[in-house]
A and B are shown apart, each in its own frame.
Chain A
């Protein structure tokens, strides 16, 4: 299982890359592996406002559908439309192939997320 230093992680297995006031959000290697072959991604419309913990997108594998929760509150300003035609990119490289970008309302919410080391421990406990 691959975990990347410098990213923040949620208990729902999303990763967040903070870039100024933007949060780039995707799913972790652990998440893509437990989902299996991803065959469908349902993206929100840019401009939608989300609260931390809201389902913002859906990633579906052959067997299951998983909600992708935004770990932060804010406005969705970008979605990765490349995933609509090539959902398998999430399996190939889950950290390169982000899903949404949220303009952060409240940076203090980031404090509730885990760092790489904490997340790795969290996954081990869950497994």
Chain B
């Protein structure tokens, strides 16, 4: 089992540790509900060092990435970030990734922990021209400081005016409490916040500095449990749930990250066909009408026939409702459509609702 450099810190904070894709990660410290609420109203600090980092370099790096992803990297500027699915020729999703443009010939690609090896192999096997693909996951540790107080807290530790880092932008070699870091205004919670990349040796010191600076803002350490309920309310996809090798980004409703007119890329033909013919399945939001909590894998029925399944389901701590994301036959995707979710062999009523379930206006 792999451990992040902060493993001992989590144990000393009495975190409940779980196996997450081969990593020992904190599920919760004080409790998922409290940590969730703290991130929505104040701020929370997450160790997400399990995420994979892949460095792509060379004069052909940009063209190489462009062929692998569904989004369009051609207009991406230095110090900006692109979110994109990466697909197989059949349109199924290999992973959803973040691409940080360090310069014209150098990109930091951040991938889901459990997919790191698969992504590396895929990328390496598609190399063409002057491009190198290197696993940099061991060098980087990653903290996510999330919530409306995130900027106030981090600003105490750096002279760089953080308001200059806009949404999906980053700055490299920022001095934070004496530690050099790459800071991006990104996250996976639906709140404002930062993700901070530092070398593994320095992350423990950085964690302590942020915790201390955050005291006056009620900062709490937050685990993967709250991270999941937060991203779920914001309807941000989780690989293995809303996206998978069997689910295309168009089915998952990620149309705005699929640029069919950007030129050729892997998966384009299949996605173009889905786009022309219309997808047969669609990701929708569901709200329970009956009492019950839908969970990943629950069947969804209409008139006693299976029409899809729940990809993620949970009690929503912010909205106090039982909600689900579900992949349904497209004709059931319209808002207010009534369906049944099968929970413990009982068909319980639910209705289609808009996603994201929760929207916060924050700095863009």
A interface with B by C-beta (< 8 Å): 36-37, 39-40, 42, 58, 60-63, 65, 84
Chain B interface mostly? mixed
Q: Which residues between 5 and 35 of chain B lie within 8 Å of chain A, taking CB atoms? A: 16, 27-28, 31-34
Contacts of B292 in A (CB 8 A): 40, 42
In the bound complex, how far is the Cα of B225 from the Cα of A39, in angstroms? Answer: 14
Flag if B291 contacts A63 (CB, 8 Å).
no
Which of B89-97, B206-214, B314-322 sits within the interface? B314-322
**13 A-B contacts (beta carbon < 8 Å):** A36-B16, A36-B31, A36-B32, A39-B33, A39-B315, A40-B322, A42-B344, A58-B344, A60-B315, A62-B32, A62-B317, A63-B27, A65-B344
In the bound complex, how far is the Cα of B348 from the Cα of A42, in angstroms? Answer: 13
Q: Please name the 8 residue pairs, one residue from A and one from B, whose CB atoms are nearest each other, closest first.
A: A39-B315, A37-B33, A62-B32, A37-B31, A40-B293, A60-B293, A37-B32, A63-B225
In the assembled complex, the CB of B113 is this many whole angstroms from the nearest CB of chain A, namely 18
B229 lies within 8 A of chain A by Cβ: yes
Residue of A at shortest CB range from B226?
A62
The winner among A40, A58, A62 for most chain B CB atoms within 10 A is A62
In the assembled complex, the CB of B348 is this many whole angstroms from the nearest CB of chain A, namely 10
In the assembled complex, the CB of B229 is this many whole angstroms from the nearest CB of chain A, namely 6
In the assembled complex, the CB of B189 is this many whole angstroms from the nearest CB of chain A, namely 15
B295 lies within 8 A of chain A by Cβ: yes
Contacts of A60 in B (CB 8 A): 293, 315
* Per-position binary interface string of chain B over residues 325-364, scored 1 when its CB falls under 8 Å from any chain A CB and 0 otherwise: 0000000000000000000100000000000000000000
Given A36-B16, A36-B31, A36-B225: A62 in contact with B314 (beta carbons within 8 A): yes
